[in-house]
Structure 1
């Protein structure tokens, strides 16, 4: 190792050398920002990448402790053993490599190496929209979209029926939430690092007038005007299906009882004539 590298390692060991910043576009995820359920699911199987910050130590040796950030080349520099390629290795693999090099170099007889991840930055998906806990979700293995939804607490009651995955390449995939929950294969695809997952708010309709439960309701797939009236508690004794009017985009439109309603439709059910 060069003399400069030796000095750098020494400063890292005593915690006086700051971790070098990664490129501005890389997101960092402190452990405190990750929901407890997501933290619990992250294990030694996480694959390290540029930008991740790790804490590495040898048990029982306070003089061998460092906080390091993987740079763009994926290399970290450790005391005694020099450069180690950490990128594309799991935490377990990195532990084993450092242990073997310390042992084979004669530095320690049987070292127990600990590696923990302080900041996740390289492999994650972003989940936004009408889910219980939107945010950044680190991925430590191949996850299906249903698993990611489970990790963020699932859809809210006002979540829509369609979910969108936007790949890093710009490709968009639209999926039906019900199909995700019950299907497999292409209905519940694997996510990739860098994916953005968005669940829009559900389409709704408003209804008032001669119905038993006026209000704002979620539109189910294929919902007709007749079904919308039924969803709002049905007609009062004074109500008439024939006198139901629909306002769409600020103007009244002709909609039959078996025609499908659309987002933000306003339904007014009038009285019947005696």
Structure 2
């Protein structure tokens, strides 16, 4: 009998401890992670004397991108399973990825909710949008959207380089790195490069959407600020 009573007491103690732990684990999902909270956490880690690292604008979804959309506990929501294809034959050839592809009409096809607008939204905006739509199917869904393959961010290189063409922006790349990526100047090229960028009126380096770059000046340490980072839609002409 005493052993039986002891067993019951142990079960009660375990139950009393497990209940608050279970509720505590669930409550963390209800705490909103705001921009202010992220900045405070970074300051606490880096120290008050150091400046926060510059955070670039969030990625904006474009045509041809591949996204992974998941609902926690329910798995992947892509309407069709798209696997990775072979290597593209040229720099501007369409690239395949895993997940759901953003079609020419700017939409993605998902389970349960059908075709959904995606182009022009950030990943966070799309996740918030899908949370509302999936709430008609699941109870309080947790939606994540991840960029699997970027195909919409491109720039064009023309003129006297070894390998001109259209290239994807897979990582931050400067003007000089672009020239190197294209195999360098041809023997007929001079040191002048023109960058044409739409909507660059606010950039002091540009005049009427055009910036001039002189490679010889760059080698001498002059006007190095003109070795700018390339943006999607840029046209680079090597003279």
Name the TM tier (shorter chain): 0.3 to 0.5
Structure ranking higher in helix proportion: 2
TM-score calculated relative to the size of structure 2: 0.43
More strand by share: 1
Q: TM-score, normalised by structure 1?
A: 0.39
